[in-house]
Amino acid sequence: MSATTEWLLVIAFLEVIMELHMHSHHMENRLPDWPAAAVSGFAAGAVVMVLELLWSTLFMDTSPWITSRMVAAIVLGPDTMQAGTFSVGVVAVALATHYVLGIVLGLILATIIAPFHFDSSVGMILLTGAVFGLVVYLFNFYGMARFFSWFAEMRGWATVVAHLIFGMTAAIIYWKLERPIGQ
């Protein structure tokens, strides 16, 4: 997928969000349900991690540990990616990193959903999650790739879809788990 196509997708999603915001969703002083947000990010991270392992093993004919090594390299450095074999230490660091990032992203998503009442319907929550996932993809694979150059090789439709799934999964789980403050 070309960078132009990706930016056109972003612009289209942002136009939809701006239109929805102008017509129905006004910001209020409403706090997120923090535990629900953390659990939703953790669970969505787990879903995507399992899907990535299955995808790389079943369809890409590559080692399922390559993605784990790329994630672990954020903490351990780029030398971590040299071997393509299984390593308990590398996988443990990758899991911890992936889950911490998932939780942080779940918290960020909830701070967007709650004050704008994007949890008003299933469609709205899924759209919000999809847009969030796309923004996270662009941030990770275009912004953060400046610091972690190995992210650039993961750009493409499969990674976009994984981030859309992450965002939508985190949003729908948050929607199902959230409780109004005071309950």
Residue 69 lies in a domain: no
Residue 21 banded pLDDT, cuts 50, 70, 90: low
pTM comes to: 0.83
Residue 138 lies in a domain: yes
CA distance 85 to 19: 48
- The string of pLDDT tens digits covering residues 40-72 is 999 999 999 999 888 888 887 788 888 899 999
CA distance 58 to 63: 10
Residue 123 lies in a domain: yes
Rg of the chain in Å (alpha carbons): 17
Q: Is 169 exposed, middle or buried (0-12, 13-18, 19+ CB in 10 A)?
A: buried
**Nearest in space to 48 (alpha carbons), one of 164, 172, 180:** 164
What is the span of the domain harbouring residue 99?
A: 3-16+45-59+95-177
Per-residue pLDDT at 84 exceeds 80 = no
Residue 51 lies in a domain: yes
To 10 degrees, what angle do helices 88-116 and 65-76 make?
80
pLDDT at site 26: 63
Q: Is 39 exposed, middle or buried (0-12, 13-18, 19+ CB in 10 A)?
A: middle
Mean pLDDT of 146-173: 94
Residue 66 lies in a domain: no
CA distance 67 to 3: 22
Overall domain count for the chain: 1
- The string of pLDDT tens digits covering residues 107-130 is 999 999 999 889 989 999 999 999
Residue 108 lies in a domain: yes
DSSP symbol at 148: S
